[in-house]
Amino acid sequence: MPRNRISPVRQMHPPLSRRRLLQAGAGLLGMSVLGVGPAAAATALDFDELYGKISVLGLSFSDKVKSLAGKKVAMRGFMAPPLKAEADFFVLTEIPMALCPFCSSDADWPDNIVVIRLDRAQTFEQANALIEVEGTLEVGSWTDPATGFVSLLRIVGAHFHAV
């Protein structure tokens, strides 16, 4: 699948692309860096690897996502503006979201989002800042009973840190 990013930095200033360097680093170092414990090594998962097929009539999960269902994963991305600063639920996006779909009636989520459910509430990280999330991948449609938010991919029992 062709890569699709709309991050403007990447091509204007390749040397400055912190994100790209970090991604490359994560790829090279792999599990030894991202592992959270000897029994629960997290596999790095990139936004480009979520879907095998993207079409008007629906997406299909990639083989990698299917094989990682129920397992520990680590993803890097940006924290979409949450409804409140302290929350145990937020949306991870590939690029910083200029709009807040929770807040604005005009905005809508991109296709490739991942819902993060934290094991404990953490404070909002700057939308300009790249974060890394680790937790257990859940695959398949699920409706959050509290908010009615429908998600296809979730990382649960998660925690995150700025990178």
Partner 1 sequence: MRSLLAALVATTCLVSVAEAATVFPLDRATILAGSPFDMKVEFDAVVASGDVTVTINGEPAEKVLGKSVAFVEKEKGVDASAVIVRAASIAKPGTYTVEAKAGGETKTVVWEVFATPSTPTAKNVIFFLGDGLSVAHRTGARLMSKGMHEGKADGRLNMDDIPPVAFIGTSATNAVATDSANTMSAYMTGHKTAVNAIGVYADRTKDPFDDPRVENIAEALRRTTKKSIGVVATSEIEDATPAAVVGHTRLRAEKAALVNDFFAVKPEVILGGGSAYFLGKATPGSKRKDDKDYVQLFRDAGYTLATSKDELATAAGTNSGKILGLFHTGNMDVTLDREFLKKGTVSKFPNQPGLVQMTQVAIDELAKNPDGFFLMVEGSSIDKMSHPMDWDRALVETIEFDKAIGVAVEFARTHPDTLIVVTGDHTHGVSIIGTVDDDKPGADMREKVGTYAEAGFPNYEDKDGDGYPDRVDVSRRLMLFANNFPDYYETFRPKLDGPFEPAVKNEKGEYVANEQYKDVPGAVLRTGNIPRNGDTAVHAVDDVVLQATGPGAEGFRGYMEQSDVYRALVDALAIAPVQN
127 interacts with partner 1 by CB under 8 A: yes
Question: Could you tell me the CA-to-CA distances from 102 to 25, 86, 126, 145 in Å, in that order?
Answer: 33, 15, 17, 16
Interface with partner 1 (CB under 8 A), residue from 85, 121, 162, 163? 85
150 interacts with partner 1 by CB under 8 A: yes
Task: Measure the CA–CA gap between 16 and 9, rounded to whole angstroms.
Answer: 7
CB of residue 149 vs partner 1: minimum separation in angstroms?
A: 9
**Would you say 41 or 87 has its CB closer to partner 1?**
87
67 interacts with partner 1 by CB under 8 A: no
Size of the site for partner 1 (CB under 8 A): 49
Phi and psi torsions of 134, nearest 5°: -125, 140
Burial class (CB in 10 A: 0-12, 13-18, 19+), 80: buried
CB of residue 104 vs partner 1: minimum separation in angstroms?
A: 7
